[in-house]
Structure 1
Amino acid sequence: MNWYLDVLKKYVVFSGRARRQEYWMFALFHILAVVVLTVLDGVLGTNPLLTGLYTLAVLLPALGVCVRRLHDTGRSGWWLLISLVPLVGSIILLVFLVSEGKPEENQYGPNPKLVQAA
């Protein structure tokens, strides 16, 4: 849960790097929240009010952590736009997001694994 809250604290931070664990833990809690809110919307008959408000509220933090994740792999945040290419783009982006980060310092900052360990 701390990973999720840390991403929310960095609300519009698009600089720096994010570890795989930070990105995927955020993604896990985000998906769980969307599922719970979708069920709640269905029960309350407010479909898609709660889910829509939540998704809108975490749009910028989600984009920020995705861009920072791409930075960790040595890629520009603009690579996020590759997901606009039908099917193939999403697969390529997924491969980038699951790739190991660069172990050395890159143009986006120091390795977050080493910074966190210190």
Structure 2
Amino acid sequence: MEWMLLPLKRYAEFSGRSRRKEYWMFFLFSIILGLIASAIDTLLLGFSFENNGPVNSILSLALLVPSLAVSVRRLHDTGRSGWWLLLIFLVLIGWIMLLIFFVSDSDSHSNAYGSNPKMEQDIGDIFS
């Protein structure tokens, strides 16, 4: 659960690096929350499942900045600039390229965006 909430704690922090685990757990957390919000809109407020109701819309707006921030930090972790996120506007090719970037392993050493968070976590596990 900690990995799912970490991007919310780092709400608008676009600098630094984020591990794959942090990115994908937040992605899963967002999907689960979206399904719950859609269910609330459908069952309690009478909106159809295809249309966004108010709960789902508010959730989407609330998660927009942390989603962008964790995506930029994930790109930083692979040694790429956050500007690569603009590939999202290239409908199919851009999405495939971003998916490849997001599933790629971290740079094993420090890069221009900071030290490897995977190594910091492993060292922290040893001393705790």
Same fold judged by TM-score > 0.5?
A: yes
> Offset at 1:83?
1.0
> Offset at 1:45?
2.3
Deviations 1:40-90 (A, max 9, x none): 100122641001101101111111000000000000000000010111111
After TM superposition, the score normalised by the length of structure 1 is 0.96
Query: What amino acid is the match of 1:116?
Result: Q
Identify the match of residue 103 of structure 2 among 81, 98, 101. Answer: 98
Cα distance between partner residues in 2 of 1:68 and 1:30: 17
- Matching residue of 2:112: 107
- Matching residue of 1:28: 28
Question: Which deviates more from structure 2 when the two are superposed, residues 56-65 or residues 42-51?
Answer: 42-51
- Matching residue of 2:55: 50
- Matching residue of 2:7: 7
> Offset at 1:108?
0.1
Any unmatched runs of 5+ in structure 1? none
After TM superposition, the score normalised by the length of structure 2 is 0.89
Any unmatched runs of 5+ in structure 2? 48-52, 124-128
Cα distance between partner residues in 2 of 1:87 and 1:6: 29
- Matching residue of 1:70: 75
What is the percent sequence identity of the aligned residues?
49
Rg comparison, structure with higher value: 2
- Matching residue of 2:89: 84
RMSD across aligned positions (CA): 1.0
Q: How many pairs are equivalent? A: 118
Q: Secondary structure at the match of 1:75?
A: coil
Runs of 4+ with deviation above 6 angstroms: none
User: Structure 1's 54 and 46: CA in aligned 2 closer, same or farther, altered over 3 A?
Assistant: farther
